[in-house]
Chain A
Amino acid sequence: MLIELKGIHKTYDNGQPLHVLKGIDLGIDKGEFVSIMGASGSGKSTLLNILGILDNYDEGEYHIDGKLIKNLSEKEAAHYRNQMIGFVFQSFNLINFKTAIENVELPLFYQGVNRKERHDLAMHYLERFGLADWALHYPNEMSGGQKQRVAIARALITQPRILLADEPTGALDSKTSVEVMDLLTQLNREEKVTIIVVTHESGVANCTDKIIHIKDGIIGETTLNTEHHASVFGSNTIMK
Chain B
Amino acid sequence: MKFDLDSYKEISDSLMRNKRRSFLTGFGIFWGLFMLLFLIGGGNGLKELLSKNFSGFATNTIIMGSSETGKPYKGFKEGRYWNLEYTDVERLKHLFPELAIVTPQIAQWGVVAVNEGFSVNCHVSGLNADYQYVEIPAIKYGRYLNQVDLQQKRKVCVIGKKIYQALFPQGGDPCGQYICVGSVYYQVIGVNYGTSNININGNSEEDITVPITVLKDILNYGDVVGMICVVGKNGVKMSEMAPRIRQAIYRAHTIAPDDEEAMFLLNMEPIFKIVDNLFKGVNFLIWLVGIGTLLAGAIGVSNIMMVVVKERTIEIGIRRAIGATPFDILFQIVMEGIVLTLVAGLSAIVFSVFMLNGLEVIAHHETAFQINFGTAMAAFFLLTLLGILAGIAPAYRAMHIKPVDAMRDE
A89 near B323 with CB under 8 A, answer no
> Which residue of chain B is the closest to A112 with respect to CB atoms?
B1
B319 near A106 with CB under 8 A, answer yes
- Indicate which residue in A45, A81, A83, A109 contacts B321 across the interface (CB closer than 8 Å): A81
Interface assignment of A93: CB less than 8 Å from any CB of chain B: yes
A 92-145 contacts with B by CB, 8 A:
93-95, 97-98, 102, 106-107, 109-112, 114-115
Query: Which of A33-41, A72-80, A183-191 contacts its partner?
Result: A72-80
Interface assignment of A82: CB less than 8 Å from any CB of chain B: yes
How many residues on B have C-beta within 8 angstroms of the other chain's C-beta atoms? 30
- Indicate which residue in B13, B314, B323, B406 contacts A110 across the interface (CB closer than 8 Å): B323
Give A49 to B324 CA distance when docked, in angstroms: 16
A87 near B321 with CB under 8 A, answer yes
Query: Which of B43-51, B190-198, B325-333 contacts its partner?
Result: B325-333
- Indicate which residue in B18, B317, B326 contacts A97 across the interface (CB closer than 8 Å): B18
- Indicate which residue in A54, A82, A97 contacts B13 across the interface (CB closer than 8 Å): A97
Within 8 Å CB of B320, what residues of A? 78
Q: How far is the CB of A83 from chain B (nearest CB, A)?
A: 8
Give A218 to B10 CA distance when docked, in angstroms: 43
> Which residue of chain A is the closest to B7 with respect to CB atoms?
A109
A114 near B407 with CB under 8 A, answer no
Give A166 to B327 CA distance when docked, in angstroms: 27
Residue from B5, B318, B324 having most chain A Cβ neighbours under 10 A: B318
Interface assignment of B315: CB less than 8 Å from any CB of chain A: yes
Given known contacts A97-B17, A112-B2, is B404 in contact with A49 (CB within 8 Å)?
yes
Interface assignment of A55: CB less than 8 Å from any CB of chain B: yes
B contact face: mostly helix, strand, loop, or mixed: helix
Interface assignment of B322: CB less than 8 Å from any CB of chain A: yes
Interface assignment of B14: CB less than 8 Å from any CB of chain A: yes
Give A83 to B323 CA distance when docked, in angstroms: 8
- Indicate which residue in A54, A91, A95, A109 contacts B410 across the interface (CB closer than 8 Å): A91
Q: How far is the CB of A2 from chain B (nearest CB, A)?
A: 20
A107 near B18 with CB under 8 A, answer no
Interface assignment of A200: CB less than 8 Å from any CB of chain B: no
A107 near B323 with CB under 8 A, answer yes
Interface assignment of B116: CB less than 8 Å from any CB of chain A: no
B314 near A74 with CB under 8 A, answer no
Within 8 Å CB of B18, what residues of A? 97
Within 8 Å CB of A81, what residues of B? 321-323, 403
> Which residue of chain A is the closest to B322 with respect to CB atoms?
A107
B323 near A82 with CB under 8 A, answer yes
Interface assignment of B402: CB less than 8 Å from any CB of chain A: yes
A-contact 0/1 string along B305-322, CB 8 Å cutoff: 000000000110111111
B-contact 0/1 string along A157-178, CB 8 Å cutoff: 0100000001000000000000
Interface assignment of B217: CB less than 8 Å from any CB of chain A: no
Interface assignment of B6: CB less than 8 Å from any CB of chain A: yes
B407 near A93 with CB under 8 A, answer yes
> Which residue of chain A is the closest to B323 with respect to CB atoms?
A82
Q: How far is the CB of B403 from chain A (nearest CB, A)?
A: 4
> Which residue of chain B is the closest to A113 with respect to CB atoms?
B6
Give A114 to B9 CA distance when docked, in angstroms: 12
> Which residue of chain B is the closest to A75 with respect to CB atoms?
B325
Give A158 to B314 CA distance when docked, in angstroms: 21
Shortest 9 CB-CB contacts between residues of A and residues of B: A82-B323, A97-B17, A110-B323, A54-B403, A78-B325, A107-B322, A75-B325, A74-B326, A55-B404
A-B contact list, 26 entries, CB within 8 Å: A49-B404, A52-B321, A54-B403, A54-B404, A54-B407, A74-B326, A75-B326, A78-B323, A78-B324, A78-B325, A78-B326, A79-B323, A81-B321, A83-B323, A87-B322, A93-B318, A97-B13, A97-B14, A97-B18, A98-B17, A106-B322, A109-B6, A110-B322, A110-B325, A115-B5, A115-B9
